[in-house]
């Protein structure tokens, strides 16, 4: 997801001065009784904007620095919204295990509301019956282990196409761009049974998916300071969100109508998300009610918004680390080439035996969690966390990036060392709270197995077939490692590398 911006324009400052004076007057005239007996430690905040000025653009890093000063449980204020930030394995355990039910809902704002069909999806749905049904469809029907296996052909064909495109490049390869197209095409085929990237309409859809991520990730002053909401109207932001929601809906409706015309009941392919969903929601005559069509569209939108960027960001960082650490690359190539030889289609059985590959993947997830602050949750009632009082309505952020680099849990956390995961049972399945790239508890990611199956296959293929070096002839250790702000954290500049066929 792209730019995270707080859009302060010059003409806001007179209003801020007025609001500041008003705030002081209210504080003096109506002092609020301190009902919070033992609030978590808080960094000092400013009137009106609270701690917003301390977030910077790379929020996970700045929150990590604040946590080193104020502790693994901190209470911040984003404007008027209280936000609890958890930065240790212990704190994450208490929130997502001990009190999982209290933190089972997400905060909905006007953007997530519009782009989730008013919380009818899974990612933003409030905890309740509708979320439970949609999530169990995702877990049991669309993304179960059996289903993930059945998408193997798509993984193989799309990886073969990626390899072919790399072979066709005589010079440097823009891996960031290729990974983005690769994951979009893979998800498109799993979701709709076909690729839309070739048609005009399909290209527009892929742009829309990018725009969804961008507007959901945009941290704006109006999001947290109710008085500044007018900025979103004046700047055209609200209009942009309305357009994205409308165009996305038109595209998904169009795909569904196409499937009805083709007679989805008669088709026996049935292994794509849309056909499975139509089968679940249709009545005996093959009709799907307007209400159920909304549920289908909301789930499909989630799959694209949550599944594409996350996977391509991961691949970008994994290849970055491999190119930057030649010894790790060499170890991985030795393992893959020894097990798979020059077999052009690496088998599941071979992947199972590639322990160093699995360690490289885990280490990349620890070092570069694609969604460093997970997806926020909200406290549904007052609760004590590590002895501190947390009030109902407090938003909760779990800093997976800081947890993955916490010296309490990790030895030499600032080093990229896949070996730490060899002979270790630590996994990202939600039981090890020091390692939570997919979240934990009932709101954890249902797409982990789907994503990891793709990642293992494509990474193994890329290091089996090619030797890699930097595009500009530079050394790996000089590689620019800057991050681009957003809810998923990309490299700031694309990864450009040169591939040569392995001997
Ligand atoms: C490398 C790839 C991925 C990463 C790192 C990732 C990460 C995450 C994270 C951190 C969350 C929030 C968890 C929490 O709040 O505790 C999440 C939720 C979610 N993810 Fe993923 N994800 C990935 C791939 C996918 C894929 C491929 C899909 C679907 C095809 C998917 C669908 C979802 C959904 C639907 C949710 C919301 C779950 C809920 O709120 O109950 N994700 N993901």
SS3 readout for 417-438: CHHHHCCCCCCCCCCCCCCCCC
pLDDT of residue 270 exceeding 80, the answer is no
Contact (Cβ atoms closer than 8 angstroms) between residue 449 and residue 138: no
Nearest to 278 by CA among 292, 258, 290: 292
- Nearest to residue 138, comparing CAs of 122, 153, 158, 157? 122
pTM of the model: 0.91
pLDDT at residue 225, as a whole number:
80
Q: Give the residue, out of 372, 427, 438, 450, with the most ligand 1 atoms within 8 A of its beta carbon, to mutate for a pocket test.
A: 438
Q: How far is residue 15's CA from residue 388's CA, in Å, rounded to a whole number?
A: 35
Contact 340, 460 (CB under 8 A): yes
Which of the residue ranges 18-32, 112-126, 224-238 has the most confident prediction, judged by mean pLDDT?
112-126
Of the candidates 308, 419, 262, the residue with the CA atom closest to the CA atom of residue 355: 419
Q: Is 307 in the pocket of ligand 1 (CB under 6 A)?
A: yes
Parallel/antiparallel/unpaired status of strands 383-385 and 388-390: antiparallel
Would residue 4 count as lying in a domain?
no
Least confident of 22-26, 185-189, 231-235, 456-460: 22-26
**Radius of gyration, CA atoms only, the chain:** 23
Q: Which pLDDT does position 57 carry in this prediction?
A: 86
Average pLDDT, the chain: 89
Q: What is the reported pLDDT for 56?
A: 87
Distance 375 CA to ligand 1 centre (A): 9
Consecutive H or E run containing 62: helix 59-70
Is the per-residue pLDDT at 311 higher than 90? yes
Would strands 466-470 and 173-174 be described as parallel, antiparallel, or unpaired?
unpaired
- Which of the four pLDDT bands, split at 50, 70 and 90, describes residue 285? confident
| Averaged pLDDT for residues 238-244 | 95
Considering the domain boundaries, does residue 374 fall inside one?
Answer: yes
If one compares 284 and 107, the residue with the highest pLDDT of the two is 107
Whether residue 461 contacts residue 159, with contact meaning beta carbons closer than 8 Å, is answered with yes
5 pLDDT higher than 60: no
| pLDDT at residue 229, rounded to an integer | 85
Q: Which of 56-70, 151-165, 206-220 has the lowest mean pLDDT?
A: 206-220
Quickly state the pLDDT bin for 3 (edges 50, 70, 90): very low
Torsion of CA 270, 164, 310, 142, to 10 degrees: 10
Q: Kindly give, in sequence order, each residue whose CB lies less than 8 Å from that of residue 193, ignoring residues fewer than 6 positions away.
A: 269, 271, 272, 274, 275
Sign of the Cα torsion 432, 492, 312, 195 reads positive
∠ CA 54-310-259, nearest 5°, is: 130
Cβ of residue 450 lying under 6 Å from some atom of ligand 1: yes
pLDDT at 14 over 90: no
Q: How far apart are CA 459 and CA 457, in angstroms?
A: 6
Q: Whole-angstrom Cα distance, residue 116 to residue 108? A: 10
Confidence of residue 465 (pLDDT cuts 50, 70, 90): very high
CA torsion 183-188-190-194 (nearest 10°) is -130
* CA nearest to 499, candidates 173, 199, 208: 173
Do the Cβ atoms of 64 and 74 come closer than 8 Å? no
Cβ–ligand 1 contact at 444 (below 6 Å): yes
| Per-residue confidence (pLDDT) for residue 198, from 0 to 100 | 72
Mean pLDDT of 6-18: 54
pLDDT for 203: 77
475 touches 450 (CB < 8 A): no
Q: Which secondary structure element, helix H or strand E, spans residue 83, and what is its range? A: strand 81-86
399 by DSSP, 3-state: which? coil
Task: Give a yes or no: residue 310 inside a domain.
Answer: yes
pLDDT band at 2 (very low <50, low <70, confident <90, very high): very low
- 382-436 pLDDT, tens digit per residue, is 999 999 999 999 999 999 999 999 999 999 999 999 999 999 999 999 999 999 9
Q: Is 188 a known ligand-binding residue? A: no
CB of 339 within 8 A of CB of 479? no
3-class SS letters over 328-353: HHHHHHHHHHHHHCCCCCCCHHHHHC
Q: For residue 215, what pLDDT is reported? A: 86
Question: What CATH number corresponds to the domain at position 58?
Answer: 1.10.630.10
Side-chain half-sphere exposure of 25, counting CA atoms within 13 A: 6
Calculate mean pLDDT across residues 446-455: 97
Domain around 130: 10-501
Q: How far from 486 is each of 6, 214, 218, 310, 372, CA to CA, in Å?
A: 12, 8, 7, 11, 10
In a domain, 303, yes or no: yes
Q: Which of 186, 445, 454, 488 to mutate to test the pocket of ligand 1 (most atoms within 8 A of CB)?
A: 445
| pLDDT above 70 for 11 | no
Pick the range with the lowest mean pLDDT from 55-64, 98-107, 447-456: 55-64
> 17-26, 107-116, 420-429: lowest mean pLDDT where?
17-26
Residue with the nearest Cα to atom 16 of ligand 1? 439
Query: How much is the pLDDT for 6?
Result: 42
Q: Is the CB of 443 under 6 A from ligand 1?
A: yes
Within a domain: residue 304? yes
**Angstrom distance (rounded) from CA 220 to CA 380:** 24
Interatomic CA distance for residues 321 and 21, integer angstroms? 50
Ligand 1, atom 15, lies closest to the CA of: 375
Confidence (pLDDT) at 456: 98
| Model pLDDT, residue 493 | 94
Does a structural domain hold residue 452? yes
Whether 361 maps to a domain, the answer reads: yes
Name the strand (E) or helix (H) holding 317. helix 290-324
**In sequence order, what E strands does 386-486 have?**
388-390, 395-398, 466-470, 483-484
Phi, psi of 85 (to 5 degrees): -115, 125
Distance 438 CA to ligand 1 centre (A): 6
CA of 410 to the centre of ligand 1 (A): 24
The predicted pLDDT at position 263 comes to: 73
In a domain, 489, yes or no: yes
Cα separation, 364 vs 151, in Å, equals 24
Lowest mean pLDDT among 202-216, 235-249, 278-292, 321-335: 202-216
Question: How high is the pLDDT of residue 1?
Answer: 40
What is the per-residue pLDDT for 232?
A: 87
The yes-or-no verdict on residue 479 having pLDDT over 70 is: yes
pLDDT tier at 7 (50, 70, 90 boundaries)?
Answer: very low
Rounded to 5 degrees, what are φ and ψ at 397? Answer: -120, 135
For residue 252, is pLDDT > 90?
A: yes
pLDDT for 269:
54
Contact 306, 132 (CB under 8 A): no
How many structural domains are present in the chain?
Answer: 1
Helices first, then strands: H and E counts in the chain: 19, 11
End-to-end CA distance of the chain: 38
**How confident is residue 63, by pLDDT bands cut at 50, 70 and 90?**
very high
Cα–Cα distance for residue pair 215/238, rounded to 1 Å:
10
What is the average pLDDT across 204-218? 83
The closest residue, in CA terms, to atom 11 on ligand 1 is: 445
């Amino acid at each position: 997801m792209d730019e995270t911006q707080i859009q302060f324009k010059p003409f806001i400052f007179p209003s801020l001065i007025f609001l500041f004076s008003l705030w002081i007057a209210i504080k003096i005239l109506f002092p609020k009784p301190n009902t919070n007996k033992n609030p978590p430690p808080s960094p000092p905040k400013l009137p009106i904007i609270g701690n917003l000025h301390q977030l910077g653009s790379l929020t996970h890093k700045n929150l990590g620095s604040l946590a080193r000063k104020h502790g693994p449980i901190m209470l911040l204020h984003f404007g008027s919204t209280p936000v609890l930030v958890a930065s240790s394995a212990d704190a994450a355990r208490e929130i997502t295990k001990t009190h999982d039910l209290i933190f089972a809902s997400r905060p909905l704002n006007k953007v997530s509301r519009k782009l989730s069909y008013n919380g009818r999806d899974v990612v933003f749905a409030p905890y309740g019956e509708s979320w439970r049904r949609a999530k169990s469809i995702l877990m049991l029907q669309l993304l179960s282990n059996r289903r993930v296996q059945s998408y193997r052909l798509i993984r193989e064909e799309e990886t073969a196409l990626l390899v072919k495109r790399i072979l066709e490049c005589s010079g440097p390869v823009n891996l960031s761009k290729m990974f983005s197209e690769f994951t979009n095409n893979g998800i498109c085929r799993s979701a709709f049974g076909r690729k839309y990237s070739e048609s005009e309409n399909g290209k527009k859809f892929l742009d829309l998916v990018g725009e969804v991520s961008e507007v959901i990730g945009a941290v704006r002053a109006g999001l947290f300071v109710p008085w500044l909401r007018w900025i979103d109207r004046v700047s055209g932001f609200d209009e942009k969100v309305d357009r994205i929601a409308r165009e996305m809906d038109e595209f998904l409706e169009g795909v569904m109508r196409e499937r009805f015309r083709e007679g989805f009941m008669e088709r026996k392919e049935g292994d794509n998300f849309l056909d499975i969903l139509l089968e679940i929601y249709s009545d005996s005559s093959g009709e799907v009610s307007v209400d159920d069509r909304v549920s289908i569209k909301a789930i499909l939108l989630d799959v694209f918004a949550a599944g594409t960027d996350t996977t391509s960001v991961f691949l970008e960082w994994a290849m970055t680390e491999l190119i930057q650490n030649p010894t790790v690359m060499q170890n991985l190539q030795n393992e893959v080439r020894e097990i798979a030889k020059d077999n052009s289609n690496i088998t599941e059985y071979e992947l199972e035996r590639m322990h160093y590959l699995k360690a490289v993947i885990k280490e990349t997830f620890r070092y570069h969690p694609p969604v460093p602050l997970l997806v926020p949750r909200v406290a549904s009632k007052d609760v004590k966390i590590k002895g501190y009082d947390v009030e109902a309505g407090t938003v909760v952020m779990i800093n997976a990036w800081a947890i993955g680099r916490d010296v309490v849990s990790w030895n030499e956390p600032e080093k990229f060392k896949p070996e730490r995961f060899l002979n270790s049972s630590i996994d990202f399945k939600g039981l090890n709270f020091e390692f939570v790239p997919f979240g934990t508890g009932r709101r954890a990611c249902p797409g982990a197995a789907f994503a990891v199956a793709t990642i293992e296959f494509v990474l193994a293929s890329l290091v089996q077939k090619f030797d890699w070096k930097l595009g500009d002839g530079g050394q790996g250790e000089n590689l620019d490692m800057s991050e681009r702000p957003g809810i998923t954290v990309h490299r700031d500049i694309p990864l450009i590398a040169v591939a040569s066929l392995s001997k």
